[in-house]
Structure 1
Amino acid sequence: MWALKKLNLDWGATSSQRMNELNELDEFCLKEYECSALYKENMKKYHDKKIDKRELSPDDLVLLFNSRLRLFPGKLKSKWTGPFKVTKVFPHRAVELENKEGMRFKVNGQQIKIYLGQYESVNKMIEIWDLDEV
């Protein structure tokens, strides 16, 4: 009726069997780690391929992302301010910008995007908005 399991009392065979099982488990984990590293590497290549490289040069017009507007979002407020003129491009995507008053400051290149309009047309638009508010 009752089936009893046969106990292996040979400690040498039992310990070697257990060590083999642990080694197989370690090999399995190492193989899975290599697969995940390969997956991450392939996903990074795919992601980097989709990123547009922005080549900035001095005298380009750019817009600057205003991250403080996230705290107080307005329905129709733009998060981009500017345009600013690029005066110098540093390594590692740092950029020196100049505003229309001539003040220069450095920003991270990830916070800017190319402005496609004319600098003079922006000044005219600002003047029109100022007249409308009065």
Structure 2
Amino acid sequence: MDMVAIGQQRMLQLHELEEIRNEAYESSRIYKEKTKAFHDKHILRKSFVEGPFTVTKVFPHGVVEVVSPSTEKSFKVNGQRLKPYYESMEKEQAAVIHLIDLVNVDE
């Protein structure tokens, strides 16, 4: 056996393995870029508007029927997705209570 020839053969195999590995990394990077571009292209921008809905009926298993006051359309949603609506209070409606006044009341 020629040790020099075997060493050169082994180095050639290691270089080929390194090239295959680099090609795999490059292929993976290109795939990820294309997948991200496809995903980003199909994202729909949602616009949210403030508006309360009126609950008209509660069905078994958490289904709730709600009505939109502006369009008068009713639809069913999962009850876990509903959140309570609190109307904003005007500054004139809000009561101001000073903590100093509360301390003097106890005496």
Q: TM-score, normalised on structure 2?
A: 0.51
Q: How many residues were matched structurally? A: 67
Match of 2:30 among 38, 49, 61: 38
1:115-130 paired onto structure 2 within 5 Å: none
- Listed one character per residue, the Cα deviations across residues 77-110 of structure 1 (whole Å, up to 9, x for unaligned) are 4232147xxxxxxxxxxxxxxx42449xxxxxxx
Q: Secondary structure of 1:61's match?
A: coil
Q: TM-score, normalised on structure 1?
A: 0.42
Q: Secondary structure of 1:46's match?
A: helix
Structure 2 Cα separation of the partners of residues 62 and 33 of structure 1: 50
Could you say if the C-alpha distance between residues 75 and 27 of structure 1 is closer, same or farther in structure 2, counting changes exceeding 3 Å? same
Match of 1:100 in 2: 86
Question: Displacement of 1:23 after TM fit?
Answer: 0.6
Could you say if the C-alpha distance between residues 62 and 26 of structure 1 is closer, same or farther in structure 2, counting changes exceeding 3 Å? farther
Could you say if the C-alpha distance between residues 14 and 54 of structure 1 is closer, same or farther in structure 2, counting changes exceeding 3 Å? same
Match of 2:50 among 45, 61, 69: 61
Match of 1:6 in 2: none
Match of 1:70 in 2: none
Query: Rg bigger for which structure?
Result: 2
Structure 1 Cα separation of the partners of residues 21 and 51 of structure 2: 49
Where does the alignment leave 5 or more consecutive residues of structure 2 unmatched? Answer: 53-60, 64-77, 90-107
Structure 1 Cα separation of the partners of residues 51 and 41 of structure 2: 24
Greater relative contact order, per chain length (Cα 8 Å cut-off, separation 6+)? 1
Match of 1:67 in 2: none
Question: Displacement of 1:75 after TM fit?
Answer: 4.4
Structure 2 Cα separation of the partners of residues 13 and 62 of structure 1: 80
Match of 1:78 in 2: 79
Question: Displacement of 1:25 after TM fit?
Answer: 0.9
Runs of 4+ in 1 over 3 A off after TM superposition: none
